[in-house]
Structure 1
Amino acid sequence: MLRRTFTRLYLFGALALGLGAATSSCTDKDGNPVLFSLEDDIALGQQVARQTDSTYAAKGQLLTRSANPQAYQALDAVVQRVLNSGQVQYRNEFAWDVKIIKDDNVQNAFASPGGHIYVFTGLIKYLDTESQLAGILGHEMAHADRRHTSRQLQNEYGINLLLSVVLGENPNQLAQIAAGLGTLKFGRDFEREADEYSVIYLNGTGHYACDGAAGFFIKAQEQGGAGVPEFLSTHPDPGSRITAIETKATELNCRNRTPANSNLQTLKASL
């Protein structure tokens, strides 16, 4: 009860002081303003992830580890390489669990606050290389790691409502937030930063071609038409993004790595 009261008073106090004062006292490790404390960011992510799991499990679409350990073993191998790149700032604070949603008709992935990542089987089967998979996962991890998701949710729903969700007082709104994560649209700056950090993460692996995300965008751009992945509806403008990713990868001299695709092949075969 003391924790709940303190959190409410802290956040309401921050609001009363105004955005400038609030953001000066609550920032991420790089000094970027975030109204939520890191603790509340993690708590919100836990609430949203539980709701997301429940929603997809009820539809029979949440692939569990016990149901398909082979798929998760292959996926985890990719995830761990990215996480252990030495570049993920909340590596030890966030959950970093990546879950598979069974829907071959959806080519998408999304992240909740606190490092909970979801990827659809349709996207996994769409990809051609393991570097592309690592690049997309790195992009979604960056949205969580740079706390873009929390900031975007604050912009869309307001701090008061999110606080009520953190405290477990607004289950209907929690369901709405969880349902909307897959279509949450970030601003150009957040997308640019997520792309950049995807390159940085993959460079740190010493294994993957660090422009992996660009490979996905190139394929989607070439196909065009009705077959464009849902991922592009929330991650638009692939042309300029390909250029930015490749420029950053060239700067880091990590574009020409050609790792084996064994984990992606195993993952695809097991789905």
Structure 2
Amino acid sequence: MKKIFLVAYCLIAASVFHVKAQINLFSIEDEIKLGQQVAQQVESDPKNKILDEKKYAEAYRHLRRITDAILNSGQVRYHKEFPWQVKIIHNDSILNAFCAPGGYIYVYTGIIKFLDTEDQLAGVMAHEIAHADRRHSTNNLTKMYGIAALTDIVLGKNQNRLTQIAQGLVGLQFSRNHERDADNQSVIYLCNTEYEANGAAGFFEKMLQMRAAEPPAFLSTHPASASRVRDINAAARARNCTAKTSQKNYQAFKNSLPK
């Protein structure tokens, strides 16, 4: 009987732990505050050369046009709650994009210039929006630093930890489940837009071609694989998505960036 009781206790404890692991203890308001502080830290770092929005107004119009199409798909849960700030970092040597909690998205000029179509970039943006909308970042950061440490940052304490989080955000690795979830959500978001719903698959295919050479920064946090591409394509087919996208805007977007 003791053994049976012990086994039952362990199963219940494991179940409770699993449930708690899926619960995000941050409120939406605190998540936005954390994102604001992380964004300020990212933008104050001299290594991150944020493009001036007035000087490069056309580039920002293109990026926000793509972002707004996704946000207005009717599928983004926190469309109205999160601020959804989008900034461009001028660095042609980095093929990356990342999102801070609360929807603060940063895209490097390198990845914009590297991609071939607007569908591919829309896939990247949808994937990053999914990480924020599904609250993957605060889930991961809570596991890494603990809820108390993140709460201190929200309350304006522990500047050193804030700097550490901001610097590590580019290299923040998501779990396989989070990555699969973001891939699937990107299809759901894009299916209701003018873009190819499997835009992320085209992006990862292009990234896979580069893996034999020097792996892009994006691959260190978002590992690409043939199975991942197949899963994205299968999800798009299953939803019977159609697209009406025109690629003429993408070259204009590239031309609007600094040389």
Q: Quote the offset at 1:39 in angstroms.
A: 1.2
Aligned twin of 1:39: 29
Say whether the 8 Å CA contact 2:88–2:109 is kept in structure 1.
yes
Structure 1 residues 67 and 216, CA gap change in structure 2 (3 angstroms): same
Partner of 1:261: 247
Moved over 6 A (4+): none
| Residues 50-129 of structure 1 mapped to structure 2, 5 A cutoff | 50-55=40-45, 58-59=46-47, 61-129=49-117
Give 3-state SS (helix, strand or coil) of 1:100's partner.
strand
Decide whether aligned partners of structure 1 residues 20 and 67 sit closer, same or farther in structure 2, where only a CA change above 3 A counts. farther
Deviation string, structure 1 residues 30-70 (Cα, Å, up to 9, x no partner): xx510111111111011101111111xx3461112112101
How far 1:228 moved relative to its partner?
Answer: 3.0
Quick check: 191-200 or 34-43, which moved more?
Answer: 34-43
Contact 2:42/2:48 (<8 A) preserved: no
Instruction: Please give the alpha-carbon distance, in whole angstroms, between the structure 1 residues aligned to 2:101 and 2:247.
Output: 29
The amino acid of 1:170's aligned partner reads N
Shift of 1:113: 0.4
Separation in 2, partners of 1:101, 1:35: 31
1:264 partner amino acid: Y
Provide the aligned length of Structure 1 versus Structure 2. 242
For 2:169 and 2:225, how far apart are their aligned partners in 1? Answer: 21
Q: 1:188 to 1:134 in 2, by over 3 A?
A: same
**2:12 corresponding residue in structure 1:** none
Residue aligned with 1:118, SS: strand
Query: Which residue number in structure 2 is paired with residue 214 of structure 1?
Result: 201
Do the aligned residues in 1 keep the contact of 2:210 with 2:216 (CA within 8 Å)? no
1:204 aligns with 2:192: yes
- SS of the residue corresponding to residue 192 of structure 2 reads helix
Counterpart Cα distance in 1 of 2:225 and 2:100: 23
The AA in structure 1 aligned to 2:94 is: V
Shift in alpha-carbon separation, 1:91–1:126, aligned structure 2, 3 A: same
Letter in 2 for 1:201: Y
Task: Give identity over the alignment, percent.
Answer: 50
